[in-house]
Amino acid sequence: MTTQDVGPIDYLAVEFPGARLRGKGLAALLDLVERGIIRILDLRVATVTESGDVMGVALTDLDDDGELDLAVFEGARSGLLDDDDLAESARLVAPGNAVGLIVYENTWAGPFVTAMREAGAEMVASGRIPADDVVAALETLEASEAPA
């Protein structure tokens, strides 16, 4: 047992068309961090050139609007994510786009894990159900419950 239990660690790879950051995604990420729901362990961004070359991007003004976008996460490096991981994620996106790779802890689960261990329980497995599978299951359930 560790002196500090941590929540499950997950990652996300996000494609940014045209290598531009738009919308409310950054605000949502900052909100999750500020409320203590997640903790960013690694955050890296790379662009994929038209020829397919991968270039790391500094976490600064990604959308050229004059405001620092991800500077709050600059230096977020845990050692869980390396250049090979970033290059592998970059292969998932189209040339001319960017990829953001985030490794994060689900901090909300830490106190639960600690309480369970203090009660003599042990976490023996965890997993992730793909979002598309959840949506399909919910749609099937909803269709089966609809009046004929």
pLDDT in tens for each of the 148 residues of the chain? Answer: 445 677 888 999 999 998 887 778 878 888 898 898 999 998 888 899 999 899 887 666 555 555 555 556 666 677 888 889 989 999 999 999 999 999 999 998 888 888 988 999 988 888 888 888 999 999 999 999 878 6
User: What CA–CA distance (Å, rounded) separates 57 from 13?
Assistant: 15
DSSP assignment of 118-131, as one string? HTT----------H
Q: Which residues pair with 56 in a beta bridge?
A: 46
**Domain range summary for the chain, segments of one domain joined by +:** 9-145
The model's pTM: 0.75
User: What CA–CA distance (Å, rounded) separates 101 from 76?
Assistant: 12
- The four Cα atoms 27, 34, 98, 105 give a dihedral, to 10 degrees, of -140
pLDDT of res. 2: 46
pLDDT of res. 37: 93
User: What CA–CA distance (Å, rounded) separates 88 from 23?
Assistant: 25
pLDDT of res. 131: 85
User: Which of 126, 115, 122 shows the shortest CA–CA distance to 8?
Assistant: 126
Cα angle vertex 129, ends 95, 104, to 5°?
65
